[in-house]
Amino acid sequence: MADKLAPTVEKRLDAASLDKVYSLKNDAIVSFLNQYMELLDPDSVFVSDGSDKDNDFIRAEALNNHEEIQLPGMHTLHYDNYYDQGRDKGKTRFLLPKGVVLGQAIDTMDREEGLADVLGIMKGAMKGRRVYVLFFVLGPADSEFAQLSVQITDSSYVAHSEIILYRPAYKSFKKYPNKPFFKFVHTQGELYTFNLKLGGKDLAFKVSKNMEKKRIYIDLQDETVLSANTQYAGNTIGLKKLAMRLGIQRGSREGWLTEHMFVMDVFGPNGRVSYFTGAYPSMCGKTSTAMIPGEKIIGDDIAYVRNRGGKAYAVNVEKGIFGIIEGVNAKDDTVLFKKLHDKGTEIIFSNVLLKEDMSVYWNGMDKSPPPTAGINYAGEFKAGMKGPDGADVKPSHKNARFTIDISALENADAAMLNNKQGAPVAAYIYGGRDVDTSVPIEESFDFEHGIVFQGAFLESETTAATVGKAGVRTINPMSNIDFLSVPLGKYIKMNLDFGAGLGIKPKVYRVNYFLQDEKGEWLNERTDKVVWLKWAELRAAGEVDAIKTPTGLIPKYDDLARLFKEMLGKEYSKDDYTKQFSIRVEKQLERLARLKVYYETEDKWIRANSKDESTFIPAVVFKILADEERLLGDAKAKHGSVIAPDKLA
């Protein structure tokens, strides 16, 4: 094996790292390292075996390299470039060979052109630096779900984040030397150093500099992700949303699903446990749902789902949370808020405000006036300041984050976190955000209707988690459109076919926590989501009835009134119920009109560019569109444009 390592690579690896590579007895790993060490030209290479010793070295490097700032206890703080505060969809591309198409909704470019571009940018990018090589497994190790992965990065912050978020896999690579693996290569590029003073202390942090050379390219043919000139985790932690793209494509070949879903326990009467998965776009209540007090969390973001014996089973792809911190407060997020203040728990904060006493502040953490000074993602912060783009700078960025291991949470389901069998799925939830259309919770007529009407027809307002304008209503099928590596029609069909192979199908729900009245007042409180969840669990167990509407099944008033009393200790008025669960026919028809244009346009494009019928939008999508238009039209003729639940009971 030793003679297969290029001399220029060998001189970069010390004896310990060379031994770790040789011990794997894996020619594919050696080839991968040869290719990218030659290209990136680092001064040294640190190969991690995932041991406590190696992890501690990476943690220390993150501080020494000024990619993180030490806070009290086991907390650290990272800042990204002012213009690098979210997933950059505009700089993210799939690299495709000639003749391969994914659809007009998916950003692609010619593979040869893309590789020439990004590899040219990466050439020599790590000169003068140390590179970190890390081994991880997505899903529980030694399970049918497990997908091996290798990360190359020159960012100790990225490496530190990944050892919190992902399961170590050096031993798995030893055990399965011939198993294919996903590959991730990242360079933060040239860095700019902020030198600041705070509370009499000299502080420095480094951020990626050349935003115009930012690239996030996914090479599906080689199952490799290449990213450059960025530090933001969504662009650089390859095993997160970038790995979703690779997982979706691999699953399409092998018959399993990669979904943008949490996995959680929902408790019913007499200690019954039902396992739910849920897909929500960013800032639509996904993590807060998975963290509802009284329930348990298995994972908050990404799930692999497989059919075993005619039943769906899901696992958390990750072992940690990279969560949005804005608005997390003691009242609405009791468990998480408490843990974020536990200095004995390892946490990386990013893009929040650092105060003079070295404590952190994020927008919405309490009701007291926000701090007027400190350090944040814009550098030295002063209340009322403007950023370099002229925008108002708040103390903390709207997409500020925290990184934590799920096992540190008191509501973690310890028995299921690494369960190799996965959790049997009782229900899917699709959650979006709109102020004037969707009821707080609605069950689909059946699984097929749920995948299409609740999932493929998911529409939501954009948020600060992506670069661009917030507040724009967009169609986001299964909350996965940004991550699809197969044509949209094929992805919908994959989900429908998966369901067709199940003997016991999960219930399917859609939730909307953001409904407002005509005055702009919220019709839901943040804590109400526990009631919607408990009702869904009772429905999944067949214990309560529902009211059939033109768009799905909604709760009966008496069931919700009882749950509000039991779960929240408060009265639930019939007036509130009527406002929340009335069917807004005109708004639903407007939504269907947008969806019709969206899917007809996509189908026309894919048919013009592909002869593969499996990539076409399935006919059932247009059937359900037509059915819903008819049902809503009939209901409007009979009951009017806004239909109170009692008229349908």
Catalytic residues: 284
Beta carbons of 224 and 184 less than 8 angstroms apart: yes
Inter-helix orientation angle 15-24/27-40, to 10°: 140
DSSP code, position 628: H
Q: What kind and span of H or E run contains 164?
A: helix 156-165
Three state DSSP letters for 82-120: CCCCCECHHHEEEEECCCCCCCCCCCEEEHHHHHHHHHH
Q: How far apart are CA 510 and CA 284, in angstroms?
A: 12
Dihedral in degrees, nearest 10, Cα atoms 432, 434, 436, 442: 10
CA-CA distances (angstroms) from residue 205 to 379, 396, 529?
Answer: 9, 16, 39
Nearest residue to 294 via CA among 468, 524, 529, 501 = 529
b/e per residue, 521-536, with b = 16+ CB within 10 A?
eebbeebbbbbbbbbb
Beta carbons of 580 and 523 less than 8 angstroms apart: yes
Q: How far apart are CA 224 and CA 231, in angstroms?
A: 18
Beta carbons of 615 and 101 less than 8 angstroms apart: yes
Q: How far apart are CA 415 and CA 91, in angstroms?
A: 40
Task: Report residue 459: phi and psi, to 5°.
Answer: -125, 140
Q: How far apart are CA 218 and CA 109, in angstroms?
A: 10
CA-CA distances (angstroms) from residue 156 to 237, 325, 581?
Answer: 11, 22, 49
Longest pairwise C-alpha distance within the chain: 80
Q: How far apart are CA 579 and CA 271, in angstroms?
A: 33
The number of CA neighbours under 13 Å toward the Cβ of 181 is: 28
The residue to which tokens 């307002």 are assigned: 461
Task: Report residue 272: phi and psi, to 5°.
Answer: -65, 140
